[in-house]
C-alpha cells in the first residue's frame, strides 16, 4: 500500500488512546493525524485535518452537553463526504450494535478482542467493507433477527422523535413540540424502533440507556 491511511483516534480514557496510538503507529501504512478526548475535540480535528478513518469510542461526552458521541457520529455519517467510522467499545448489547450499523459505521471492534482486529477493521473500511470483531459478531448473531448493515438509517425526524421519547416525553407532547400530528409522531417512533431492531418499550429504554440517552 503506497498511500498511508490517515486516522483520527478519539476516546475519553487516556490509557485506551495510548494503547491504540501505540498499536497504530507501528503499522507502516497508517498515519495518525490527531487524537481527541471528547466529541468536541473530535469535531475540531475533523474541521482541521483530512482523514480517511475515525476510530472512536461512543461513551465520550457529546457536544453542547450531550451524553455521548452517537448523535455526532450519526450527523457525520450523513454528510455527503465523510471519513469511515470505526467504533471501539466494550458494549455488547445487540440492539446497540445493530443501531450503530444502521447509522452507517464501517466497523465495530470490541476492546476485549485482539489488537489486530482494529487494524483489520481499518483496512476493511478503506476497502469499502463492514467489519465486526469476534465478540461483536457473537453478540449480533445471538440476536434473533440479525440486522443487515446499512439497511435502515434513521431519518432526521425519526431520530428527533426517538430522543425526545426516551427523555420521557409522551407522543402528544412530542407532537406539540415538533408541530406534527400525533399520528405522524407515532409512525416515526414505530419506524425508528423497527430500524433499530427494537420490539418492545423495554427494548427501547434499554437501548437508550446503553447509548447514554436515558
pLDDT in tens, 95-118: 778 878 888 899 999 999 988 999
**Cell 444502521 belongs to which residue?**
102
Question: Residues spanned by CATH 3.40.50.2300 within the chain?
Answer: 5-141
Domain 156-210 listed as CATH 3.30.465.10:
no
Q: What residue ranges of the chain are covered by domains with CATH 1.10.10.10?
A: 156-210
Confidence of residue 207 (pLDDT cuts 50, 70, 90): confident
What cell numbers appear for 149 in the block? 448493515
Q: Residue 196's pLDDT band (boundaries 50, 70, 90)? A: confident
- Quote the percentage of the chain above a pLDDT of 70: 88
d(CA 160, CA 213): 12
Top-tier CATH class for 5-141: alpha beta
Q: Which three cell numbers stand for residue 163?
A: 430522543
Which segments within 14-128 are labelled E, that is strand?
30-36, 53-56, 84-89, 107-110
Residue whose entry in the numeric block shows the C-alpha cell 426517538: 162
Instruction: Give residue 151's pLDDT.
Output: 42
If you average pLDDT over residues 153-180, what whole number do you get?
87
User: Does pTM surpass 0.85?
Assistant: no
User: Does residue 14 carry a pLDDT above 60?
Assistant: yes
Amino acid at each position: 500500500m503506497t498511500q498511508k491511511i490517515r486516522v483520527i483516534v478519539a476516546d475519553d480514557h487516556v490509557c485506551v488512546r495510548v494503547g491504540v496510538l501505540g498499536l497504530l503507529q507501528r503499522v507502516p501504512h497508517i498515519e495518525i493525524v490527531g487524537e481527541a478526548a471528547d466529541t468536541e475535540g473530535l469535531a475540531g480535528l475533523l474541521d482541521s485535518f483530512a482523514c480517511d478513518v475515525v476510530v472512536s469510542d461512543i461513551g465520550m461526552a457529546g457536544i453542547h452537553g450531550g451524553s455521548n458521541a452517537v448523535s455526532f457520529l450519526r450527523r457525520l455519517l450523513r454528510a455527503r463526504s465523510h471519513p469511515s467510522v470505526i467504533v471501539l467499545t466494550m458494549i455488547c448489547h445487540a440492539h446497540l450494535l445493530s443501531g450503530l450499523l444502521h447509522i452507517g459505521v464501517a466497523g465495530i471492534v470490541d476492546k476485549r478482542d485482539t489488537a489486530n482486529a482494529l487494524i483489520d477493521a481499518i483496512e476493511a473500511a478503506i476497502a469499502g467493507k463492514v467489519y465486526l470483531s469476534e465478540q461483536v459478531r457473537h453478540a449480533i448473531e445471538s440476536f434473533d433477527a440479525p440486522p443487515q448493515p446499512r439497511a435502515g438509517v434513521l431519518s432526521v425526524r425519526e431520530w428527533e422523535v426517538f430522543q425526545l421519547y426516551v427523555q420521557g416525553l409522551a407522543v402528544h407532547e412530542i407532537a406539540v413540540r415538533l408541530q406534527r400530528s400525533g399520528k405522524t409522531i407515532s409512525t416515526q417512533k414505530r419506524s425508528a424502533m423497527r430500524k433499530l431492531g427494537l420490539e418492545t418499550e423495554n427494548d427501547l429504554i434499554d437501548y437508550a440507556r446503553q447509548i447514554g440517552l436515558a
